[in-house]
Each structure stands twice: as structure tokens, then as C-alpha cells.
Amino acid sequence: MSVISVDLQCVLKYAENLYRKAIFSENNCRQYNKTPILNLAARNNFRYYIAREILRSGNVREDEKQDIDKVIKEGKNGLNKVRRALLEVNELPGEYLIVKTYRGFPRIPGDIDVLTEDINASILKLEQAGYYVRDYDQKEKSALLEKAQCADIHLHHRVTWAWTYFMDNDFVWEKPRISNLAGVEIPIPNPDADFLMHIAHINYEPLHILLSELLYLFKLIPDVNIDRIKSEATRYRWDGVLLRTLNLFNDFHNIFFGCLCFSELPFRKVIKGEVEFPFFLSRGDLVKNVFEKRLFLYPLLKLGKVIKVLLSGDPYSGYYTPGELK
């Protein structure tokens, strides 16, 4: 049987407008200390959003209001940095997409991921706007750029992790959508590509799932063509990884909302005991992911981190800092 802490129940309660009401969410969150609730939201990269929802709900004691007001003020400053960066991105030459950044709420990401047709021209344009290149990966053709009082911008020539591809380029660029983040209209991938990118990213870079990301993907599912994303993953030899992740999503959805999100797929319960977020992928799944995608050289080059993660089971602490806490 799965155990859900009061703090997680309250976070889900305040986040219900992002997706839907959980079957167990605590309705009387006013009585609980908001600090651990906000700390949990911060670790899952939606502290600003949850703080606003707490304030909007009226479930705030007078002694808590000052701390919540401070979180909201810091969040507004962070969003202003995101806005300034997105306005610079909107001036890039050629076609581009904002990827893995938008989650359906005013999010403050660690950086803004941008897929661009011409990375060199994009770097030049941003440098002319005052950005400087902090890091450049020749093998993956990606660049991380910084500018004071702006969010960092991470440029990518193609969707890739661990020096390998996970889907066709045409699949990613097909029929982009227009969304809004920090008051700026941005092009984001079609639902199939958006969903599949998040799944690949979860399994091959951070190795954990944030609650804010999970809720966004749940909301995206009705617009996702399951056969199409399975076909794409099969073409790039990671369909087993995809199916294990969809099974995990089914388990979370059943625990939180009382039904499966992919009812057409076989289901096996894998989550036991207390449900915690960020949720760390199991050591067994991490090993399977490497072997299925045949990624043998890359883990050797990251051997220190690989050993630490396998020994501790924690791919979050010391490796990831939410944008709101930077």
C-alpha cells in the first residue's frame, strides 16, 4: 500500500488546477505549517506557483504571510529574468523551439532550453545582446549562455542526451504549438514530441521525476498518440525504457487519481511504501536504461557520478538545483 504524506497531499491540493483533484488530497491544509509544504514545492520546481495558490486560497495564518509574500516576491523577480531571456530568444534568426521548459504554469526554470536550426548564428545573436558562452559542447552541439539579470539560455542543435539521439528531428519540429510563459508567446513542440522529450530526459539526464513535470505530462496525455511515440522510441532502441516509464506513470496516476492514465497498456504496480518527490528512478531501471540504449562509453566518462548514484540511490542531491533556488 502506498503512503502519502500530509505535505504531499497539501501540495497536490494547491496544484489541482494544473491537472485535477487528487482522490485523497487534504482539504484542511490551513492547519498545517506552510514551510515544509513550500520546501516540497521548491524541490519540485513550483514553489512560486504553490505560494500564490496558498495565498489565493486564504489558507494562511498571519504568522505565515510574511514568508509567503517573500517567496512570491522572489518568484516575480525570477519570472522577470525569464521574460527578459525569452524576449532575446524571440529575436533569434531562423526557426527555434522552446523545449522542456514550459509546464503550463508560471515556472522559473534553471535555464531555458532552445532548439535552434542554426546554433552558431543563435550564439552570435545572443552575444550581440550581451550574453556570453559559459559552456560549449562540441560533440552535442549545445551551448549554455549567461547574462546578468536574465535567465540562462541553453541552445541545442538537436535533441540529444548522453551523446545519442532519441527521436527523429522532423518528429520534433512538426506542427509546433504556441504557448505563453512569463507573458511572452513561445513556440513549443507538438504534444507527441513534447511528451517523448520529457520521458527521454527523465531517464537519461536527471534520473528523477519532479511532481510539477509529472502533472504537466498527465495533462498532456489525452493529446498524445501512444502508437506514434512507441514507434519513435522503437526506432531509436529505447521502447522498453518508454514502456517502463508509462507503467510508472500509470502507478502514480492510480495512486493520486484512482485510475490509470494509459488504460490500454498492461499494468504492474511498482511503487510501494511512502511516495516521495522528487521521485528517484530505481538502480535497476538505471542499469536497464544504459544497456537497452547501449550507452557504454558515456557512463564510463561519468564514472564518479555513476558510482555515487548507484551507491546512494539519489540522483538529485548535489546534482540538481531548481531554478527558484538558484
- pLDDT for position 193: 98
Find the helix packing angle between 47-57 and 34-43, rounded to 10°: 150
As given in the structure block, the three cell numbers for residue 133 are 558562452
Q: State the pLDDT at residue 133.
A: 97
Mean pLDDT over all residues of the chain?
93
Say what the pLDDT of residue 132 is.
Answer: 96
Segment among 80-89, 107-116, 123-132, 162-171 with least mean pLDDT = 162-171
Contact indicator for 16, 40 with CB cutoff of 8 Å:
no
CA distance 23 to 41: 19
pTM: 0.95
Can you tell me the mean pLDDT for 44-72?
Answer: 92
pLDDT at 289 over 70: yes
Supply the pLDDT for residue 294: 85
Report the run of H or E that residue 311 belongs to, with start and end: helix 303-312
Q: 2-325, which class in CATH?
A: alpha beta
Summarize the confidence of residues 269-277 as an average pLDDT: 93
Q: Domain extents for the chain?
A: 2-325
- Whether 117 and 96 have beta carbons less than 8 Å apart is answered as yes
Q: What angle do CA 316, 202, 291 make, to 5 degrees?
A: 100
Q: Are 16 and 26 in contact (CB under 8 A)?
A: no
Q: CA-based diameter of the chain, in Å?
A: 56
Cα distance between residue 269 and residue 98, in whole Å = 34
**For residue 326, pLDDT beyond 90:** no
CA distance 145 to 112: 10
Whether 189 and 183 have beta carbons less than 8 Å apart is answered as no
Residue 320 has pLDDT above 70, yes or no: yes
Please name the residues in contact with 87: beta carbons below 8 A apart, sequence gap of 6 or more. Answer: 184
pLDDT at 79 over 90: yes
Q: Which residues contact 301 (CB under 8 A, 6 or more apart)?
A: none
Q: Residue 166: which residues within 8 A CB-CB, separation 6 or more?
A: 159, 160, 196, 197, 200, 204, 233, 236, 238
Please count the residues of the chain: 326
List the single range of 174-183, 199-208, 256-265, 312-321 with lowest mean pLDDT.
312-321
pLDDT score of 298:
67
> From CA 182, how far away is CA 85, in angstroms rounded?
10
